Amino acid sequence: MRVVVIGAGIVGAAVAAGLTRRGAQVTVLEERFPGAGTTGASFAWVNANHADSEPYFTLAHAGLHAHYALGSDAFQPTGHLEWATGDGRLVELSRRVERLRGREYAVERITADQATELEPGLTTRPEGTEYVLFPEEAHVFPARLLGRLLAEARAGGAEVENGAAVREVRSGSAGASVVLADGDVRTTDVVVSCAGRWTDMLLDIPMRVPGVGTTGYLATTSPLPTPLSRVLTTDGLSVRPDGGGRLLLRARDLDFAADPALPPAPRIGAELLARLPEVLTGTEGAHVEQIRVAAHATPARGRTVAGFVDDAEHVYAVVTRDGVTLAPLLADLVAGEVYGTESALLAPFRPGADVLAFPAGTSL
């Protein structure tokens, strides 16, 4: 089967790898370069911690396990440590822990001493601080995982074309085709759109516009002599190791001002850095090497959309807000669906009513 995959982010790379595992002849068309989209700026915490519905929890939990099965060297299965102080956060964390326990998710309440044993760089917290360990959670280095998946796809015969901007996707009775910006038309058996937050420029899948709740800042520090081996969530700052002693910082309460069309205000980096000594020792003299504004790929109807968008089943779309968590799983499930094996895990996330139905042979 010939398949054109649109987009070489983490999702497109995973889907390309999954398709080549099944013997498909894959061409990946990427407008800019691999990782140029959201994947290039992601916190990349692998988890099902905040899943808002049962079907989404089941999907994300399977996504977490698929990372273990893939076993890439980009995957850091070191767990996630969270602490909470103050009434609102304590109540929220406590409810989440109980909900996750009910779902048989790995979660342990631990003492301050146990937390410090795990992460010797933690600052001393006031009495009443609650510590929770999510031992199965993880983080990845997204560029490395992207490279791993693309290399697998290439080894399976896939071609990756950079600078190949798709402007139109067409479904016909005998297959599909894409029209590139230079007017070139490629025919194929199936098109899989993995265009991330630009999905709505190709297909009728409504996406949330970049704004509050869909954008965020990520700051990378200079290398620091601070031991940190896992994702750390605290009241005012989330931190994870970013390789070479660097730390990746984010704070959701600062994200409201993030606009991917504008350079980040210097005060954001300063504010993130100012919060770091409250969380970790040995961070004196840290500076921000890089700060990025990133925009999520968020479908208007929820966290994930996956499925065929045409009656003839020649055009498939997959777009998700948690692409790093789900990528290895989507490699398998999406490739399976393209080959005719429907996934029960993806069934609740069909494009459904948000995609205008159109008969085979019409232009999308």
Ligand X SMILES: Cc1cc2nc3c(=O)[nH]c(=O)nc-3n(C[C@H](O)[C@H](O)[C@H](O)COP(=O)(O)OP(=O)(O)OC[C@H]3O[C@@H](n4cnc5c(N)ncnc54)[C@H](O)[C@@H]3O)c2cc1C
216 binds ligand X (CB under 6 A): yes
Backbone φ, ψ for residue 287 (5° rounding): -135, 165
Return the range that interacts with ligand X (CB under 6 A); candidates 23-31, 50-58, 111-119, 204-212: 23-31
Return the range that interacts with ligand X (CB under 6 A); candidates 32-40, 72-80, 119-127, 274-282: 32-40
- If phi > 0 it is left, if psi is from -120 to 50 it is alpha, else beta; for residue 361 that is left
220 binds ligand X (CB under 6 A): no
165 binds ligand X (CB under 6 A): yes
Nearest approach, Cβ of 87 to ligand X (angstroms)?
A: 26
Among residues 3, 17, 26, 39, the one that binds ligand X under rule CB under 6 A: 39
Binding-site string for ligand X from residue 1 to residue 20, where x marks contact by CB under 6 A and - marks none: -----xxxxxxx--------
For residues 299 and 198, is the Cβ–Cβ distance under 8 A? no
192 binds ligand X (CB under 6 A): no
- d(C-alpha 125, C-alpha 176), whole Å: 59
Our CB check for ligand X shows the closer of 125 and 136 to be 136
SS3 letters for 74-108?
A: CEECCCEEEEECCHHHHHHHHHHHHHHHHCCCCCE
Nearest approach, Cβ of 127 to ligand X (angstroms)?
A: 31
Our CB check for ligand X shows the closer of 178 and 355 to be 178
269 binds ligand X (CB under 6 A): no
296 binds ligand X (CB under 6 A): yes
Our CB check for ligand X shows the closer of 235 and 322 to be 322
Among residues 64, 66, 176, 202, the one that binds ligand X under rule CB under 6 A: 202
- d(C-alpha 79, C-alpha 263), whole Å: 33
For residues 314 and 191, is the Cβ–Cβ distance under 8 A? yes
List, in sequence order, every beta strand (DSSP E) within 141-281. 159-162, 166-171, 176-180, 185-188, 190-193, 215-221, 231-233, 238-241, 247-250
- d(C-alpha 221, C-alpha 269), whole Å: 9
For residues 194 and 34, is the Cβ–Cβ distance under 8 A? no
- d(C-alpha 245, C-alpha 225), whole Å: 7
Among residues 76, 188, 325, 343, the one that binds ligand X under rule CB under 6 A: 325
Return the range that interacts with ligand X (CB under 6 A); candidates 36-44, 109-117, 278-286, 309-317: 36-44
Tokens encoding 109: 């309440």
Q: At what angle do helices 10-21 and 142-155 cross, to 10 degrees?
A: 30
**Among 4, 17, 1, 41, residue whose Cα is nearest residue 297:** 41
How many residues bind ligand X (CB under 6 A)? The answer is: 40
Among residues 62, 64, 192, 218, the one that binds ligand X under rule CB under 6 A: 218
Among residues 24, 118, 149, 166, the one that binds ligand X under rule CB under 6 A: 166
Return the range that interacts with ligand X (CB under 6 A); candidates 280-288, 293-301, 331-339, 350-358: 293-301
Q: What's the CA dihedral at 31, 34, 36, 39 to 10 degrees?
A: 130
For residues 76 and 232, is the Cβ–Cβ distance under 8 A? no
Q: Which residues contact 52 (CB under 8 A, 6 or more apart)?
A: 303
248 binds ligand X (CB under 6 A): no
Nearest approach, Cβ of 132 to ligand X (angstroms)?
A: 17
324 binds ligand X (CB under 6 A): yes
79 binds ligand X (CB under 6 A): no
Our CB check for ligand X shows the closer of 9 and 156 to be 9
44 binds ligand X (CB under 6 A): yes
Our CB check for ligand X shows the closer of 72 and 116 to be 72
Binding site for ligand X (CB under 6 A): 6-12, 29-32, 36-39, 42-45, 165-166, 194-198, 202, 216, 218, 294-297, 319-325
